[in-house]
Amino acid sequence: MSGPWTHADETCQSPYLPKITGQEDYLYIWTLGAEGVGDGSDKLVTIGTNPAKKDQYGKVLSSVSVGGRHEAHHGGFNDDRRYLWLGGLDDSKIFIFDVASDPAKPKLAKTIDTFVKDSGGVVGPHTFYPLPGRMLITGLSNEKDHGGKTGMVEYSNEGKYIQTLWMPDAAPYGYDVRVQPHLNRMLTSSFTGWNNYMMDFGQMVADKEAMKRFGQTMVLWDFHARKPIQIFEVPGAPLEVRWALQPRHYYAFTATALTSKLWLVAQKADGTFAAKDVGNIGDPTKIPLPVDMSLSADDQILFVNTFLDGMCRVYNVGDPTKPKMIHEQKIGAQVNMVSQSWDGKRVYFTSSLLTNWDKKGDANEQFLKAYTWDGKTLKQTFAVDFNKENLGRPHIMHLGQEQFYKNQIYTEQTTETGGANVANR
């Protein structure tokens, strides 16, 4: 459950975000503070990932604390990739980092502490999804009862509140959001409210009433109108939404956390969509707890993590109606997020799910692990132990590249002089 399990991988970013298609230089990791570990605060950690830069490769390049613990979870770049927005699920604070000025050492530029007030009561900013000129943010809960009823909130790139879209009454829970621009469709999934995601995991599982308070639906929206048009029954907390990327591939995958199944949401001949269970993830009777997943740019390979057994399972989804597992590998005692490079050759994993859901004792491993993928197996290249580095619990990852920002600055400079040199790059 990347969401409080989720998202961040180059192939699964918003279609409105410029992509890094070559070798990435950095991983930006939004990290939960842990009591007794370093300064104990949530922080943005930057790790070097380019093997050609031996003095940086696999090393911590910077760490910027935001002060206090806010249940650091997800985040996303704005639409020109210059600013990284990061949210706290507990107190709903949003931290905006300037990445473009010095990509190796991002700096905190702005904090929004009025999300709940601005939105009219939405709590728990989760997915940060860039749209042209604005940021779309899903919520997980609400101020009134801290249950699962929630909505989506839009801000301008400058951080000014625009509007709130409450989830429909027949599908009040929220979690992830992804847009299919060719079809003018937006798909949302559902999880649970603040009362559950801030509760101790063992206590919650033992509480029968708490276990009833999970989302069982997905919603298809008219994207431009922001109007719900179809609701699907998808039992067991459907989490990440991954639209296929190739032309005329009009379908998306999700995985259900509590029932451990892969689901396909696909367009039918009449233009409507249908949701279908297309296979198990591991042994559902053991509740491995599927969390994050990543779809390759060619729509052929799907990586799926399961938190409780620390496994990554790799599926051939060339036929999306019949996923076939082609590899499985244990990453650690627990594993949550998975992110792959655009070419699918490099895959990164982090360990933390939620402060009160992470394992305890020796099983509470906190790491970033980097692998290469050759189409058959994952081979580890480096690892960073976040406990030994006194950093905390690593969660969502975003990729960065030095040359990307140099290109952007060059464009700005030439534009200021009339744009005459743009064609000479």
CA distance linking residue 212 with residue 335, whole number of Å: 25
Nearest Cα neighbor of 15 from 219, 185, 254, 190 is 185
Tell me the pLDDT tens digit for each residue of 175-192.
Answer: 999 999 999 999 999 999
The strand pair at 242-243 and 227-233 is best described as: unpaired
Strands (E), 167-318: 177-180, 185-188, 217-222, 227-233, 242-243, 251-256, 261-267, 273-280, 290-295, 301-306, 311-316
Phi and psi at residue 382, to the nearest 5°:
-160, 165
State how far the alpha carbon of 122 is from the alpha carbons of 228, 311, 401, in Å.
18, 33, 34
Cβ–Cβ < 8 Å for 288, 236: no
Cα 74–Cα 328–Cα 23 angle in degrees, nearest 5: 55
Distance of CA 348 to the CA centre of its chain: 13
Distance of CA 223 to the CA centre of its chain: 20
Structure token digits, residue 77 = 């770049």
Name the 3-class secondary structure at 385: strand
Structure token digits, residue 284 = 């559902």
CA distance linking residue 36 with residue 394, whole number of Å: 15
For the chain, the C-alpha Rg in angstroms (whole number) is 20
Cβ–Cβ < 8 Å for 266, 297: no
Tell me the pLDDT tens digit for each residue of 327-364.
Answer: 999 999 999 999 999 999 999 999 999 999 999 999 99
Cβ–Cβ < 8 Å for 49, 24: yes
Structure token digits, residue 378 = 């994952």
Cβ–Cβ < 8 Å for 256, 238: yes
Q: How many CA atoms lie within 13 A of 234 on its CB side?
A: 37
Distance of CA 163 to the CA centre of its chain: 22
The pTM score is: 0.94
CA distance linking residue 48 with residue 69, whole number of Å: 25
Cβ–Cβ < 8 Å for 183, 161: no
Residue 301: CB atoms within 10 Å? 21
Query: What does each of the 425 residues of the chain score in pLDDT, given as a tens digit?
Result: 444 443 447 889 999 999 998 999 999 999 999 999 999 999 999 999 999 999 999 999 999 999 999 999 999 999 999 999 999 999 999 999 999 999 999 999 999 999 999 999 999 999 999 999 999 999 999 999 999 999 999 999 999 999 999 999 999 999 999 999 999 999 999 999 999 999 999 999 999 999 999 999 999 999 999 999 999 999 999 999 999 999 999 999 999 999 999 999 999 999 999 999 999 999 999 999 999 999 999 999 999 999 999 999 999 999 999 999 999 999 999 999 999 999 999 999 999 999 999 999 999 999 999 999 999 999 999 999 999 999 999 999 999 999 998 887 655 554 444 433 323 32
